[in-house]
Structure 1
Amino acid sequence: MSFTTFKKTTLALATALCVSTVASATELTVYTAVESDDLQKYAQRFNQAHPDISIRWVRDSTGVMTARLLAEKDNPRADVIWGLAATSLLLLDEEGLLEPYAPKGVELLDPKFVDVNTPPAWVGMDAWVAAICYNTIEGEKHGVPMPTSWEDLTKPEYKGHVVMPNPSSSGTGYLDVSSWIQLWGEEKAWQFMDGLHENISRYTHSGSAPCNLAGSGEAIVGVSFAFRAARLKSQGAPVEVVFPSEGLGWDMEAAAIVKGTKNMDAAKTLMDWAVSRDANELYNEGYAVVAMPGVAKPIENYPADIVERMIDNDFAFSAVNRDRILQEWQRRYDAKSDSK
């Protein structure tokens, strides 16, 4: 065999192996609302552990992704939901869209991060917690003090300086509205939101956007979540992370298998990995509260008592009343929302 012939044969064999590997890989379509700057990291870590499974990630904000899954109810396009709010998964389960499965090692998770049914329809990954981003430079320039409570945001000095996520499209926005109702009851919560609305400059369709706007100086106060606020401050943005004194709303990022998937074995493999210690350690790189006890280490710019500040969240209430609450919110406040 000549050298040229050997090279051609070797190249053909390598190409055949490559095609065979790609062809043998199972492709999962995974719907997610995980923050974009973390999704790539999570995907790489999973691919290292399971190179035989390729994933087509479809990402959008929580509200948009929830609406998409409901719209596709009769013809599901996703195999797995990974990194969507637990309140959304409760709603999807009620609609019969989830395939119950107990991932390997699920018994090691904190029970509040696991669906109460046996087997569970969904499992939690980590908790994201409400917080406020305050731009110290712009606040001083405009004479707007740093807030310490939710009620502070209704004061006249904040008029036109507050940005908040739209709860219809943002999971962060919805956890805020739901938590205010749980904290104060419906009547007082809507009165608070009426006052807050007077000071809102715009409602965004992303939970991280208000904090990003505060970090860049385009807003003074951004109602957002602790992960984004803490990361921006660590990156040097002129922001203070405020944890309002009344209590902090929160939700879980959670995962589930979509009923009807034709890739059940691969879907179960992803779910097994999602509850593993390796995955929980990865979640803890950004989130102070994760599903597996004993894993979480302190996160920079989070208070040590973050868990104690989180409200006793009634996820069932948030899920069952979601449509009603969002319709009322839209009726009252949607005029200030960003265009979609």
Structure 2
Amino acid sequence: MKQLKKALALAALTAAMGAQAQTELTVYTAVEAEDLAKYAERFNEAHPDIKINWVRDSTGVITARLLAEKENPQADVVWGLAGTSLLLLKNEGMLAPYAPEGLDALSPKFRDSDETPSWVGMDAWMAAICVNTVEAEANNLPMPTSWQDLANPVYQGHVVMPNPNSSGTGFLDVSAWLQMMGEDSGWTFMDGLHQNISRYTHSGSKPCKMAASGETTIGVSFAFRGARLKEQGAPLELVFPSEGLGWEVEATAIVNGTDNLEAAQTLVNWSISRDAMEMYNEGYAIVGMPGVAKPVQNFPANAEELIIDNDFAWAASNREAILAEWANRYDNKSEAE
């Protein structure tokens, strides 16, 4: 009995020492909330000595928070934020350059262009239109096939899209329209679209969720959310507009000044590992390591052919002006945060 008690006490002491030795990382993210536990669990299978404390919100909110904390950073790592946001943070001197293990295996599109990159990419999310087929039939609405279709007055009051000031998905849409159509034609298109919008949402996934539940007929959202909801049985048709799709790199970076640099580097190393890429591919059809991605249910097989040639540097440098102009024109239909 004494030996058993000693063994139990030793085990408890060992566990306590292990817990005390665990490094904690504050990780800012815009990854979908339902996936955060999976990300941490998979990482901890390889690195149980590092605990992730998540701070999660929409892309615009996390970006604004990081900028507000510039002089007193609170995050150690950003794991899952739009590449354009990380370019903005890089330009502010807020990211610590680091060449993670396995960098050479990444596609050039999925890394900062500097020799020692300030950010590395994980996956790409792309725009899509979620259409509730039951509501479309009930309202005698045709199935859209293009972005321009959404400006047709027949859809008045039936369209919801994300606010680009808070949503990365909203911003990639607006940025892509301006790049595809040209700035003057892009704003003209958005003027017409605005007439059909019932509201602009805080998050990028909400319009598709609203379409899935019948709260709206059409939700401008992103493919990952629509594919998952359709898989769960929602009466959705996913439309990938003929003009091309805006998209964004979801990326990872170390915040300059972190007190946990070694652990932060460990996380970034893992974030571009093959195991991580296979995890991202469970929801995203395009990942940063060529040759890894397998088809994802309800995604088009030619996903990479549908995305536009996105000028991320242009989008990042013009982000503030684009968002200000958008708010000036359309913010009257934005929902409260």
With normalisation by structure 1, the TM-score equals 0.97
RMSD across aligned C-alpha pairs, in angstroms?
A: 1.0
2: CA distance, partners of 1:84 / 1:258: 13
Deviation of the 1:11 alpha carbon: 4.2
Q: SS of 2:233's equivalent?
A: coil
1:40-97 superposed Cα distances (whole Å, 9 cap, x missing partner): 1111100111001111011110000000000000000000000000000000000000
Amino acid at match of 2:251: A
Mapped pair 1:303 → 2:293? no
1: CA distance, partners of 2:162 / 2:46: 35
2: CA distance, partners of 1:15 / 1:183: 61
Mapped pair 1:227 → 2:215? no
2: CA distance, partners of 1:151 / 1:304: 24
Deviation of the 1:229 alpha carbon: 0.8
1: CA distance, partners of 2:9 / 2:165: 53
What does 1:101-140 align with in structure 2 at a 5 Å threshold? Answer: 101-140=98-137
Amino acid at match of 1:95: E
Task: Indicate which of 58, 65, 69 corresponds to 1:68.
Answer: 65
- The residue that corresponds to 1:262 in the other structure is 259
- The residue that corresponds to 1:287 in the other structure is 284
- The residue that corresponds to 1:196 in the other structure is 193
2: CA distance, partners of 1:242 / 1:337: 24
- The residue that corresponds to 1:250 in the other structure is 247
1:175-207 superposed Cα distances (whole Å, 9 cap, x missing partner): 000000000111111111010010000100110
2: CA distance, partners of 1:40 / 1:144: 39
Mapped pair 1:179 → 2:176? yes
2: CA distance, partners of 1:306 / 1:27: 37
2: CA distance, partners of 1:11 / 1:330: 62
Q: SS of 1:270's equivalent?
A: helix
Task: Indicate which of 86, 90, 93 corresponds to 1:89.
Answer: 86
1: CA distance, partners of 2:188 / 2:133: 28
- The residue that corresponds to 1:150 in the other structure is 147
1:81-121 superposed Cα distances (whole Å, 9 cap, x missing partner): 00000000000000000000011001011111111001000
- The residue that corresponds to 1:169 in the other structure is 166
With normalisation by structure 2, the TM-score equals 0.98
The more displaced of 132-141 and 298-307 is: 298-307
- The residue that corresponds to 1:40 in the other structure is 37
Mapped pair 1:100 → 2:97? yes
Deviation of the 1:144 alpha carbon: 1.5
1: CA distance, partners of 2:4 / 2:336: 57
- % same residue: 66
1: CA distance, partners of 2:171 / 2:47: 34
The more displaced of 170-179 and 11-20 is: 11-20
1: CA distance, partners of 2:243 / 2:309: 12
Q: How many equivalent pairs are there?
A: 337
- The residue that corresponds to 1:49 in the other structure is 46
2: CA distance, partners of 1:142 / 1:196: 18
Q: SS of 2:305's equivalent?
A: helix
Deviation of the 1:8 alpha carbon: 5.0
Q: SS of 1:74's equivalent?
A: coil
Amino acid at match of 1:229: G
2: CA distance, partners of 1:262 / 1:333: 42
2: CA distance, partners of 1:34 / 1:28: 16
2: CA distance, partners of 1:119 / 1:171: 26
Q: SS of 1:129's equivalent?
A: strand
Which runs of 5 or more structure 2 residues have no equivalent in the other structure? Answer: none
Task: Indicate which of 315, 323, 327 corresponds to 1:326.
Answer: 323
Q: SS of 2:313's equivalent?
A: helix
1: CA distance, partners of 2:3 / 2:57: 49
- The residue that corresponds to 1:77 in the other structure is 74
Q: SS of 1:254's equivalent?
A: strand
Amino acid at match of 2:15: C
Q: SS of 1:251's equivalent?
A: strand
Mapped pair 1:21 → 2:49? no
Amino acid at match of 2:41: Q
Task: Indicate which of 201, 206, 210 corresponds to 2:203.
Answer: 206
